[in-house]
Structure 1
C-alpha cells in the first residue's frame, strides 16, 4: 500500500526543522547504505548521533505519535530512529534499489524488520526540480513529491529510487516500520475497514449495532494476524 499522510508536522515544527537543517553537519550518505544500495546512492545525510539528528528525531516521532491515520495504516510495533538526507548539487540522486529486510540499530539495542518504508518531506515541491521518489509495484511506477510536512508510506520490499535533483535541495526524513501485521495485503484490508468504521461511527454513533459488529470483526482479524 502506498499512502499519502498529510500534515505529520505542524507549521511550527516544520519551521524548527528547517532551522536545524540549515546548519546541519551533512556527510556522505553511503555511510548507512547496504552493499547494493551503496552502488546507487549519491546524497548526503546527517550522522546518526549528532545533535541535529537527535533534535529532528523528536520532532518527527512526536508528529507520528499524534497522527491517527499513520497508526491505522502502519500498525507500528517498532519505528526505526528517523534519519535525514539531502539531495542537490553533486550529491543529487539515488538509483533503483530495495531496502534491506532488517535494519540493525546503531546503538546495538536490537533490529527492525523493514515492513514499511517512510519518507517525510521538509522542502516544498517548488523549492527544487526533480527529486521525485519513484516507487515500483505491479501497477507500474508511482511518482511521489509531496508538500513539506507530509509523508508517504510504501512497502519496504518495493524497488524505488530518487530522481536527480537539478535545482535546489530536497530535504527529507526517512525511516522504517516493523508492523504488528507483517502482510501488506492484510494491513491494507485492516486500514480500509478502519477508515469505513470511522465514517460509520461519525454518522451513526458508537452504539449502532452495525458499528459494534464491524468493530468486533476488525479486532478479530487484527487478533488473527498480529505478531509480537
Structure 2
C-alpha cells in the first residue's frame, strides 16, 4: 500500500475541484457489477463530459516517480470521479478484475475534499491483521491491491469528493513487485551512501534482469 499525501497541492486541488463540480453528475449505482451491485450509493461524474479532467489526472499519475516506483504501471484501466453526499455510502465489495478489457492489479483513491468538511466517508480496507481506515488530507492519493475487500463509510455531514481508478501493472504479481521495489530501494540507498561502483551496478543489472523476466 502507498499513501502520497502531497500528490496535489492546495492550489491544484482548488482548480481541479472547480472543473469537476462544473461537470454533471449522475447516480453511480448503474456502473456497479459483481459484489458491488446493490452496495453502491453515490454520485458519479459524467465520464464523457469529464474526459479531459480524467485524462489530466491519469497523465499526472502515470508521470509520478513514486507511482512508477510502487506500481510499475502499464496503463490505467479505468477511472471515475465519485461524490458522496449526506447519507451516501459504498458497502463492502471488491473491485472487478478486468475493466475495459484490461487487468486491474492496483486500485487508487485521490482524495479531493478537505476532511474537515465532512463526517464519515472513511475508506476502510479489510486486511488479514485487521481494518485499515483512511481519511487523509485533501490532495492525497492512496494505492492498494485491487482484490482487497473495502468500503466507504456513510457520510453523516457534508460531501466527500474523490477520483478512483484501477492500474494494470507491467508485473502482475504483488510479490514480484515487492522484490523489485526492495531492489530499487536498496540501489538508491547504496548510491546515496557510497556512490556508483560495481556493487551498485550489480544491483541495477539484477533488478533489470528480473523486470525483463517478469514484465508483461
Matched residue, 1:6: 5
Matched residue, 1:218: 207
TM (norm. structure 1) is: 0.88
Gaps of 5+ in 2: none
Does residue 1:144 correspond to 2:130, yes or no? no
Matched residue, 1:17: 16
Does residue 1:161 correspond to 2:157, yes or no? no
Q: In 1, distance between residues paired with 2:205 and 2:197?
A: 13
Q: In 1, distance between residues paired with 2:38 and 2:206?
A: 46
Three-state SS of the structure 2 residue aligned to 1:99 is coil
Three-state SS of the structure 1 residue aligned to 2:207 is helix
Aligned length: 216
Q: In 2, distance between residues paired with 1:181 and 1:118?
A: 17
Shift of 1:62: 3.0
Q: Say if 2:23 and 2:46, in contact at 8 Å, map to a contact too.
A: no
Q: Say if 1:60 and 1:82, in contact at 8 Å, map to a contact too.
A: no
Mark the CA change 1:11 to 1:55 in structure 2 (over 3 Å): closer, same or farther.
farther
Does residue 1:60 correspond to 2:50, yes or no? no
Matched residue, 2:75: 78
Three-state SS of the structure 1 residue aligned to 2:6 is coil
Q: In 1, distance between residues paired with 2:60 and 2:192?
A: 24
Matched residue, 2:40: 41
User: Per-residue displacement from partner, 1:65-120 (whole Å, max 9, x unpaired)?
Assistant: 33111001111111124210011224x1000001111002xxxxxx2211111111
1:47-196 equivalent positions in 2, closer than 5 A: 47-50=46-49, 53-90=50-87, 92-104=88-100, 111-196=101-186
Gaps of 5+ in 1: 105-110
